[in-house]
A and B are shown apart, each in its own frame.
Chain A
Amino acid sequence: MDVQSIIFSGLSIGGLGLLFGLGLGVAAKVFEVKVDPLIPLVRDALPSANCGACSFPGCDAYAKAIVEDGASITSCPVGGADLIEELSKIMGKEAVEVIKQVAYVKCQGTCDNAIEKYEYSGVMDCKNATFLQGKGSKGCEYGCLGLSSCVRVCEFDAIDIIDGIAIINKDKCVACGKCVLECPKNLIEMVPDDKKTRVACASEDKGKEAKSNCTTACIACRLCVKACEYDAIHVDKNIARIDYDKCVECGACVAKCPTKAIIDYKIK
């Protein structure tokens, strides 16, 4: 090895690199793809959860849709109000006040409250258990099985199984809606976070049957309907349903409910 060969190798490889670099530089100009400068700005503002809750395939696609197709800037539930404000600054659109939604499990059939039909020792998955006789081991076939299907699908660690049923931690919940789709019992619902009076039951059984399966079931007695002065609560398919647009959270239904199936979460 002499000095000459070191110089030769350095020069030749360096020269090649320079040559290719120049070529690529020219090619970059020729094949330039014009990207709207707003897209990277919007993309950086998005939370990068890539959860798909906005109905676009990931944050990249949503950023593109906002800038190029004028998609709504309020579709991202993860970022919440802060994000909407930020996006409205970038896009120069009016910020719209959006009420935070949370997922809510319409069941309080805990181990104490609800009976079991049989002992289940199969796969720890609600979808599997639902295929069995009587749609799972729970006496009430509408109730939460507590086998953690929703816990596994939640990317934000917001669901816990407490005392046999799924409980959603509203501070961690971003309302992406994945658990709503996952639950084979259709027990999870998106509700406005500021309306705390909710029906904690989904049983469509007749009163007597519902009551025999679970002490806190809605028995469709319609006392709440009579108690409500705002026409905000109705019984449909043997279950009370609250119209959150009309509900003013007066608490009349909560006080009247004989089975404590309607709960005011402000107090609880």
Chain B
Amino acid sequence: MEFIMIFISAVLVNNIVLARFLGVCPFLGVSKKVETSLGMGMAVTFVMTLASLISYVVYNLILVPLKIEYLSTIAFILVIASLVQLVEMIIQKTSPSLYQALGVYLPLITTNCAVLGIALINMNKGIQTDGAFGLIHSVINGFGTAVGFTLAIVLLAGIREHIEFNPIPKNFKGYPIVLITAGLMAIAFLGFAGMIK
């Protein structure tokens, strides 16, 4: 039950993009087509889930025993950067078209604050709950957050596909209307606040 709560909280209530406003760059950049945004969501899901797993291990098995917790940010960046490299290789090998479509945003997952953010959030929760936020909690939180990211980006891509040929005033064409759309989505997701304490 607790795991389900963590998952739903990460997907809807504390949606990484629409409630925490992290990872907005790929959210706006790769949301032109549903297909690509889904690919991006998958890549982020893979990176985020593995990053929460490995960063938990690195933090609790290396940094804490050596009392060098202050190096957590650097260590997490190291973990994430390596993972992104790995994902990039895998995607380039298995799906060149997706690799083309994701373009520069794929290596940019390295600096995607959502991924680093979730590693740090997991760590902080562990400190706050006195270590009760364990490995499985972290992984589920990371996975849920990534699902939330995928949900948000796919929803936005769907909306963008629909409004593509609408008579949008010239001044709002392109990113302005996307930012307004994203803002409205954030307001809508505010409706989930308070669902889980």
Contact = CB atoms under 8 A, between A and B. Distances in A.
A13 B74 contact: yes
B82 A24 contact: yes
B86 A33 contact: no
Nearest to A23: B82
Contacts of A5: 66-68
Interface stretch (B89-97, B157-165, B181-189): B89-97
A255 B46 CA distance: 75
Given A31-B92, A33-B92, A9 B68 contact: yes
Interface residues of A, number: 16
Contacts of A32: 93
Interface string A2-46: 000100110011001100110110011001110000000000000
A69 to B, nearest CB: 15
Contacts of A31: 89-90, 92-93
A17 B78 contact: yes
Interface string B44-74: 0000000000000010001100111001001
Nearest to A28: B89
A13 B96 CA distance: 33
A16 B59 CA distance: 12
Given A27-B89, A31-B89, A8 B66 contact: yes
B156 interface: no
A16 B75 contact: yes
Interface of B: 58, 62-63, 66-68, 71, 74-75, 78-79, 82, 85-86, 89-90, 92-93, 96
18 contacts: A9-B66, A9-B68, A9-B71, A12-B63, A12-B75, A13-B71, A13-B75, A13-B78, A16-B75, A17-B78, A20-B78, A20-B82, A24-B89, A27-B86, A27-B89, A27-B90, A31-B89, A33-B92
Given A24-B86, A28-B89, 19 more contacts: A5-B66, A5-B67, A8-B66, A9-B68, A12-B66, A12-B68, A12-B71, A12-B75, A16-B58, A16-B78, A20-B82, A21-B82, A23-B86, A24-B85, A31-B89, A31-B92, A31-B93, A33-B92, A33-B93
